[in-house]
A = this chain, B = another copy of it.
């Protein structure tokens, strides 16, 4: 069933505003009497559409819904800024797989020039992608995509676990660090995952991260593209902590 994240104030007023109105009318071809799900990331309800106006959809609440689809651990991705529209793909896929936060980060081997001043429009777009992917995945929360940062600006002090996906680890037949990190996770932990851009992380960056307590992890023997690394990590986190 289609889900829409709306603001808490709209939820109290039983209305949907903004782009979602267009989506209900033109994409879902919604009609009065249709059932949908609305959520303000705290409360979630099954509701019935009672009116479809030009810029507003009204609804009645039918019943509360208990959404427990969030990963038991928070995962923050520090993603080396990739080429083209790969970041959008990474946002879509990692949102489906339960990411909590994504920080697009300029690293030494990032080819793309990031215009930090103009990046506001992009950041709005990235968060819209995260909202739509969360709705599709039936998540309780929308991950936050932050504006682009530089690696040295970041503060890692609030994370309980810190790992960096490092191709050289895999080449050197390092096969145990990742499983060790994941098997020590418990509910409420905060895992920080660093993934390099296309050329991978620079050795100096690795040294800086290791000094901050990051553990270099290989993700199996094959060479993964930058956009695949976080999917490997998130699937493994879910496999390790959610499945029985």
Contact = CB atoms under 8 A, between A and B. Distances in A.
A69 B219 CA distance: 12
A231 interface: yes
A238 interface: yes
A211 interface: no
A34 interface: no
A23 to B, nearest CB: 17
Interface stretch (A44-52, A102-110, A172-180): A172-180
A68 interface: yes
A224 B96 contact: yes
Contact of A97 (B137, B139, B232): B232
A239 interface: yes
Given A231-B231, A236-B236, A239-B240, A222 B139 contact: yes
Interface in A199-244: 219-225, 228, 231-233, 235-236, 238-240, 242-244
Interface in A68-104: 68-69, 93, 96-98
Nearest to A135: B223
Contacts of A168: none
Nearest to A238: B220
A244 B179 contact: yes
B175 A222 contact: no
B137 A243 contact: no
Contact of A222 (B138, B220, B221, B233): B138
A53 B150 CA distance: 45
Nearest to A222: B137
Contacts of A243: 175-176, 178-179, 220
Contact of A96 (B137, B179, B222): B222
Given A175-B243, A175-B244, A244-B175, A69 B232 contact: no
A199 to B, nearest CB: 13
13 contacts: A69-B221, A96-B223, A96-B228, A97-B228, A178-B239, A179-B243, A220-B239, A220-B243, A228-B231, A231-B232, A232-B239, A235-B235, A235-B236
